[in-house]
C-alpha cells in the first residue's frame, strides 16, 4: 500500500528521531513528508515505532493511504521525484 506520512514535531530531537525512523521505510520527498510502500505488517511496525518517539500532546503524525488509481494521479511541480516501489530495501 502506498502511504504518505507527514509530521509536525515540536522538538528537534524527536523530529530527527521520527525522520531517521521513516528513512528505514520510505523516501523523504519534503522536509516533513515521506512516501512509503508498506504491507500491513510493515505499516503496523512503522506506526508502532513512530508513536514511541512523539509527545502526543505536542506532536502530530498523519498517514495518508493512496490506492493504485490515486497513486497514478500524483502530480508534482518543481523538483519532481515520485517514489516507486523497489523489490527490496536495505536497512
Domains by residue range for the chain, with CATH: 2-68 (3.30.70.240)
Query: From CA 12, how far away is CA 16, in angstroms rounded?
Result: 6
17: which 3 cell numbers? 528521531
pLDDT of residue 12: 96
pTM above 0.85, yes or no: no
pLDDT tens profile 33-76: 999 998 999 999 999 999 999 999 999 999 999 888 887 787 77
Whether the pLDDT of residue 89 is over 60: the answer is no
Mind listing the pLDDT tens digit for each residue in 76-87? Answer: 777 665 555 555
Amino acid at each position: 500500500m502506498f502511504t504518505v506520512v507527514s509530521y509536525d514535531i515540536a522538538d528537534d530531537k524527536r523530529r530527527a528521531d521520527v525522520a531517521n525512523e521513516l528513512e528505514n521505510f520510505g523516501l523523504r520527498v519534503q522536509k516533513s513528508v515521506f512516501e512509503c510502500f508498506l504491507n500491513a505488517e510493515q505499516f503496523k511496525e512503522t506506526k508502532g515505532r513512530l508513536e514511541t518517539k512523539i509527545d502526543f500532546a505536542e506532536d502530530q503524525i498523519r498517514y495518508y493511504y493512496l490506492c493504485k488509481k490515486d497513486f497514478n494521479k500524483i502530480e508534482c511541480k518543481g523538483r519532481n521525484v515520485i517514489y516507486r516501489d523497489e523489490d527490496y530495501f536495505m536497512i
